[in-house]
Amino acid sequence: MLDPDLEAFLELVAAGGGQPMHLAGPARARASYDAATLAIDAPGAELARVRELRVPVRDGAEVGARLYESRPDTGQPVLLFFHGGGYCVGGLDSHDSLCRDLADQAGCAVLALDYRLAPEHRFPTAFHDAVDAWQWLRGHAAALGLDPARLAVGGDSAGGTLATALCLHAREAGAPAPCLQLLLYPCTSAHADFPSRARYAEGFLLEAATLDWMYGNYLGAQGDARDWRFSPLSHPDLAGLPPAHVALAEHDLLVDEGRAYAQRLADAGVPVRLEVYEGMTHDFARLGNIVTRTATLRRDLAQALRAAFADRPVAA
């Protein structure tokens, strides 16, 4: 059963008659997505410091980033966070409240990345930006006053995909791994044959037509939907990845593939904590003005981060 407050919100959205993302086009979809944030989400916590940064990535480009610091002292652990939005919408402002609360409640720093969006930048650009940002953070954490030994990665929706694909890349490259992958309702499969894809195809915030539009914009004509950098469930071996905290929404067309990915991780010997939030839909991590479970989720995520950072020795 849908949360009553969320159900009322969805009825208002449907009655509003707004243009769906897949019909609005990227520019209008981005503007609408960002503007809605002011209505649906509460302001995040006040922090000791918030810094705007530029992170170099391949192709001679730079992308924006925002560093949230919960304390003024040095040596804080760090979460590298990738926002959701189907690789097409979203950015630093749309997820500002979430990042602020995670930094505050987990007692850590959060580095949010404004990776390049599709269709202007197609697959695998977002993945490459994530990898380049991870390598940059590892090399610059100490200079930023952060602890390079306690680094986690995470994200919601497509951002969760980037986070777990980054963990796979680090393992393949033999590079140091994050201490935790924090995955909020990640996109993990190229296939639409999961029952939840049909069960929640319309009327539950993220709709199938919008998801198809997002994937089409990102992959274009050349991208391979079976590539594990887009579809982590396609990778034949998930062993040796960092511990995972997977948070899913009950009424989300991605919930079944999220469960499947968590099970694949567990079967491969990866420590996994799976939480499915009853009554919730996709994107509820940003619905602080709509449902109380948003605050619950943020507390749960912060606790997972605290535990992961506590298990990792502080850099000498």
Q: Which of 22, 83, 251, 282 is catalytic?
A: 282
CA atoms within 13 A on the CB side of 220: 11
Q: Please say whether the beta carbons of 199 and 262 come within 8 A.
A: no
Q: Which of 132, 252, 256, 283 is catalytic?
A: 252
DSSP E strand stretches across the chain: 49-56, 62-69, 76-82, 109-114, 146-156, 181-184, 244-251, 272-281
Task: Enumerate residues 6+ apart whose C-beta is below 8 A from 21.
Answer: 29, 32, 33, 88, 89, 210, 213, 214
CA Rg value for the chain: 18
Q: How many CB atoms lie within 10 A of CB 221?
A: 6
Q: Which of 157, 189, 196, 231 is catalytic?
A: 157
Q: Which amino acid is present at 283? A: D
Q: What is the DSSP string of 225-271?
A: TTSTTT-GGG-S--TTPPPEEEEEEEE-TTHHHHHHHHHHHHHTT--
For residues 254 and 106, give the distance between their C-alpha atoms in angstroms, rounded to a whole number: 27
Active site residue 282: yes
How do beta strands 49-56 and 62-69 pair? antiparallel
What residues are annotated to the active site?
157, 252, 282
